[in-house]
Amino acid sequence: MSTFTAPKGTYDLLPPSSAAFLAVRQELAAPLRRAGYGYIETPVFEDTKLFSRGVGESTDIVTKEMFTLTKRGSEDLALRPEGTASVVRAVLQANLHKQGNLPVKLWYSGNFYRYERPQKGRYRQFSQIGAEALGAEDPALDAELIILADDGIRALGLTDYRLLLNSLGDKQCRPVYRAALQDFLRGLDLDEDTQRRAEINPLRVLDDKREAVQAQLAGAPLLRDYLCEDCKAYDEQVRALLTAAGVAFVDDPKLVRGLDYYTRTTFEFVHNGLGAQSAIGGGGRYDGLAEMLGGPSLPSVGWGLGVDRIYLALEAEGVTLDLPATTSVYAVALGEEAKNVLFAKATELRRAGVATDLAFGVKGIKNAMKSADRSGARFALIAGDRDLADGVVQLKDLTSGEQTAVPLDALVTTLKEKQL
């Protein structure tokens, strides 16, 4: 056993679970590809100010959870705690918003980092699929992204989840609500840190998960009662498009999410089988983020879905994904000459698109066939000196046990015909 272990709050992704994680990523990304979203990758570390300015200096992410790196030179860097700010930075830096039709539609997949108190479903390194559409203020775009997320989740076979929906208003109506909420919060019995947060960004208090705080928020003013006419109309159009597409949602007037940049449409997917860590993804509109990062006005909307949480949700519902076999054919050589021949045939089969593995360092047919069974392969190729003298290999169906001799020069064709 190694003297080293994975850092606290992280875990190794190993077979066979890793195949399911890959399948989750691919299933969630498939609707985005069909809708014209291009793939983007950004660095795992960025200028710390990108997140403090974009995510919000009063958020828990910036004040408590961000991993900052030991300085070398004058750079102040942090591991990315979320994906949106990096994507907006990349779009602005590359001037993608000036190179074609808007919106710029992008998706990404990767790991993100927060100094969390580790528990099941909450890790210090976690995996997400994200999507962003930058450069258009259109309720149909909000609805499109929500529908694409719902399509991906549903395609995995999940059913026991809810979509929570809210509107956070805009720069016209938000300040009026902010003032009313602050007046309400000043009358509560809150600790010093929460009082300070209420003065900087009172909506953050609504996101406080502590029962003692939530109990006092029962009579808090609701943002939906302060929406201007434009925001009301925008919200109604988003909801109408979701309803027409058959996407069910639950109104949640206290939903604010954990980031400061959201405006108007805000949403979250929660799974009923995950306990306290029930959120499996979410997002919203962030019309002012590009300007906060020094760019032009670039109204945008996006989301992130947690691969780790969705994997746990699949377990909670007992959903087993239909995963392709990693090995279709397992080759077993009886002798050095046969091994050389089967090694060449394995290479030929792989190049022909047939997933093939070979018994390495295994002594004896009995142990080799046990390895073949454990591999999950459908067929075993077995060859010894007598088979080679006859120009054949033995093809054994590992399900039925049926075994037939196949000419070496017809092996690839024969296996391809079996649709491997």
Give the residue numbers of the binding site: 82-84, 114, 128, 132, 257, 261-262
Count of C-beta atoms within a 10 Å radius of residue 262: 27
Sign of CA dihedral 259, 82, 140, 238: negative
Q: Residue 98 gets which letter from DSSP?
A: G
Closest CA to 114 of 254, 277, 3, 274: 277
- Numbered residues of the known binding site for L-histidine: 82-84, 114, 128, 132, 257, 261-262
Task: Return all residues near 156 (Cβ < 8 A) that are at least 6 apart.
Answer: 24, 27, 28, 310, 314, 319, 321
Q: Rounded to an integer, what distance in angstroms lies between the CA atom of residue 258 and that of residue 279?
A: 12
Task: Return all residues near 285 (Cβ < 8 A) that are at least 6 apart.
Answer: 142, 262, 263, 264, 265, 266, 299, 300, 301
Helix (H) or strand (E) holding 110: strand 104-113
Q: Rounded to an integer, what distance in angstroms lies between the CA atom of residue 338 and that of residue 383?
A: 6
Report the SS3 class of residue 401. Answer: coil
Report the SS3 class of residue 383. Answer: strand
Q: Rounded to an integer, what distance in angstroms lies between the CA atom of residue 311 and that of residue 21?
A: 7
Q: Rounded to an integer, what distance in angstroms lies between the CA atom of residue 132 and that of residue 285?
A: 10
Q: How far is CA 259 from the centre of its chain?
A: 18
HEC sequence for 9-50? CCCCCCCCHHHHHHHHHHHHHHHHHHCCCEECCCCCEEEHHH
Question: What residues form DSSP beta bridges with 106?
Answer: 38, 132
Report the SS3 class of residue 20. Answer: helix
Dig out the tokens for 89 from the structure: 């930075």
The residue type at 342: L
Helix (H) or strand (E) holding 379: strand 379-383
Q: Rounded to an integer, what distance in angstroms lies between the CA atom of residue 287 and that of residue 401?
A: 62
Spatial contact of 63 and 57, defined as CB atoms under 8 Å apart: yes
